[in-house]
Amino acid sequence: MWRDTGVSADDFYTVRAECEDVPKTRFKIKAGKTLSARRWHAAFSPEGYLDIGKTLTRIQRGGIHPLIRGEVWEFLLGCYDPMSTFDERDQLRQHRRQQYARWKEECRDMDSAVGSGRIITAPIITEDGVPIQDPIVLLEANTKNGEPKVNAPLDKKVIQWKLTLHQIGLDVVRTDRTLVFYEKQQNLSKLWDILAVYAWIDKDVGYCQGMSDLCSPMIVLLDDEADAFWCFERLMRRLRGNFRCTERSVGVENQLQSLASVTQVIDPKLHQHLEALGGGDYLFAFRMLMVLFRREFSFGDSLFLWEVIILWNDVGSGVRPDIFSMYEDPDHSNERNEGSKAKVKSSRQFGKFERENMRNKLKTPESPLPISVFLVASVLKHKSSKLLHEARGLDDVIKILNDMTGNLDAKKACSGAMKLHKKYLKKFSHLRWKKASCL
């Protein structure tokens, strides 16, 4: 039974005893507010259709109970259609697990470390595709008698993939290392395998630093590795644009520009001050947007924050629903497409943020702006006075923001983001009208 005062989520995401400086989770599991297993299961019809509208208010106000979080996230991230049946979802789940197994086997054929339980943390190949002769690398590459396996010349795509494997490993062993969950080698290996497979499948983006922070919660919440992969893949459909970098721009640059525009409208003095310090590009907020505040909040609080962001239906930019459709079984794809033609999304199934945009019907060049931009803006607004009076350089800005780590309240940050969103829409509309009247 839940106590009236609530149960800390830290009880479910245990921190290692020696990690004393880890921020405590403020999110509390409360009866009548948090989405419980009973309320969740009651939202399904006997056939398996989910009336997701019955759960949204609970999730927004009190989050999701950790015992059902993985199952609920599969729907929130779009792995399953709420209007599908139990049987349809079971069939799709098995199909996806088989597909993941095929991809993993394909990767294992290219490098035996995949699926072996080991993690590569040192380069195993040169940019020319030549195996590295370092003894430690040879050991990690699972060679025999100190001699590397002789293979035919490698394709450029294979070389590029192999070049990322050690970087994935270095990031994996540092990800959420304070959690007891990752004391087990098998859990670290799951995280490494999923990221290695994804890097091979999504060749346009591959692997970038920060992806391990996004994938880690899926491993914690879902026991089956394939199910965790598909949740991560669905999240990446929304966020992959953040990781697309060219010689001229970084993937998250559009959101940084939007953050600058929002701050300029809602807090002109702070924007001017940051520009004077050389921070007009807002690169100091890069990490917050890239990994969705995973490092600014405790593990439990960041999960609640993600749930609210997902409900507002705008996790990021660059959504590409077709990116993996080529791998789906045509029969499954056709069935889903045909079955969804007559389904119209009701307003109660839209996220709060999306409904707000619908009501305002404001089509700005940046619209719809990601709610993550307003979350960062709310953090800056909260620290506006301190930034204005104490920041004398970019190092000071970064220090002030870093000092907030573990001291932020996810619920207050979300509430502040929504208030700023309304304020921005109102001010932007007024500025646009004022500009039009001057023409």
Whats the size of the chain, residue-wise?
A: 439
- Same domain for 182 and 275? no
Pick the residue with more confidence: 314 or 116? 116
Tokens of 301: 């609080």
- Same domain for 101 and 224? yes
- Residue 238 in any domain: the answer is yes
Tokens of 200: 């091979």
Last residue of a domain, one of 243, 271, 300: 243
- Same domain for 285 and 233? no
Model pLDDT, residue 428: 72
Report which of 290, 131, 156 is spatially closest to residue 213, judged by C-alpha positions. Answer: 290
- Same domain for 183 and 261? no
Tokens of 294: 């995973």
- Same domain for 281 and 160? no
Model pLDDT, residue 4: 53
- Residue 220 in any domain: the answer is yes
Residues 54-73, mean pLDDT to the nearest whole number: 91
- Residue 120 in any domain: the answer is yes
Q: Any idea what the CATH number is for the domain that residue 226 is in?
A: 1.10.8.270
Model pLDDT, residue 66: 94
In this structure, the number of other CB atoms found within 10 A of the CB of residue 396 comes to 14
Last residue of a domain, one of 243, 273, 302: 243
Model pLDDT, residue 331: 44
- Residue 294 in any domain: the answer is yes
- Same domain for 289 and 393? yes
- Residue 7 in any domain: the answer is no
Q: Are 347 and 357 in contact (CB under 8 A)?
A: no
Q: Where are the alpha helices (DSSP H) in 341-409?
A: 352-360, 371-382, 384-390, 394-402
Model pLDDT, residue 140: 56
Q: Which domain holds residue 153?
A: 86-243
The pTM of the full predicted model, rounded to 2 decimals, is 0.83
Into how many domains does the chain fold? 2
**Cα–Cα distance for residue pair 430/307, rounded to 1 Å:** 32
Q: Are 367 and 357 in contact (CB under 8 A)?
A: yes
- Same domain for 359 and 264? yes
- Residue 363 in any domain: the answer is yes
- Same domain for 234 and 357? no
Q: Does the structure show a pLDDT above 80 at 390?
A: yes
Q: Does the structure show a pLDDT above 70 at 148?
A: no
- Same domain for 420 and 280? yes
**Helix pair angle (86-110, 156-172), 10° resolution:** 110
3-class secondary-structure state, position 55:
helix
Q: Any idea what the CATH number is for the domain that residue 365 is in?
A: 1.10.472.80
- Same domain for 152 and 283? no
Model pLDDT, residue 346: 45
* Ramachandran angles phi, psi of 7, nearest 5°: -110, 135
- 150-181 pLDDT, tens digit per residue, is 456 788 999 999 999 999 999 999 999 999 99
- 64-98 pLDDT, tens digit per residue, is 999 999 999 999 999 999 999 999 999 999 999 99
Q: Does the structure show a pLDDT above 60 at 322?
A: no
Model pLDDT, residue 42: 96
Contacts with 164 (C-beta within 8 Å, 6 or more apart), sequence order: 196, 199, 206, 207
- Residue 345 in any domain: the answer is no
Compute CA distances 317 → 148, 248, 360, whole Å.
Answer: 43, 18, 20
Model pLDDT, residue 366: 46
Tokens of 122: 């040192």
Which residue in this structure is represented by tokens 């759960």? 55
- 16-47 pLDDT, tens digit per residue, is 988 878 878 888 888 888 999 999 999 999 99
Which residue in this structure is represented by tokens 């996806």? 96
**Cα–Cα distance for residue pair 397/386, rounded to 1 Å:** 9
Q: How confident is the model at residue 135 (pLDDT cuts 50, 70, 90)?
A: low
- Residue 304 in any domain: the answer is yes
- Same domain for 130 and 264? no
- Same domain for 98 and 239? yes
Model pLDDT, residue 313: 55
In this structure, the number of other CB atoms found within 10 A of the CB of residue 333 comes to 13
Q: Does the structure show a pLDDT above 50 at 339?
A: no
In this structure, the number of other CB atoms found within 10 A of the CB of residue 244 comes to 15
Give CA 366 to chain center in angstroms. Answer: 21
Buried b (16+ CB within 10 A) or exposed e, 146-172: eebeeeeebeeebbbbbbbbbbbbebb
Task: Name the percent of the chain lying above pLDDT 90.
Answer: 52
Q: Does the structure show a pLDDT above 50 at 138?
A: yes
Last residue of a domain, one of 243, 268, 286: 243
- 185-228 pLDDT, tens digit per residue, is 999 999 999 999 999 999 999 999 999 999 999 999 999 999 99
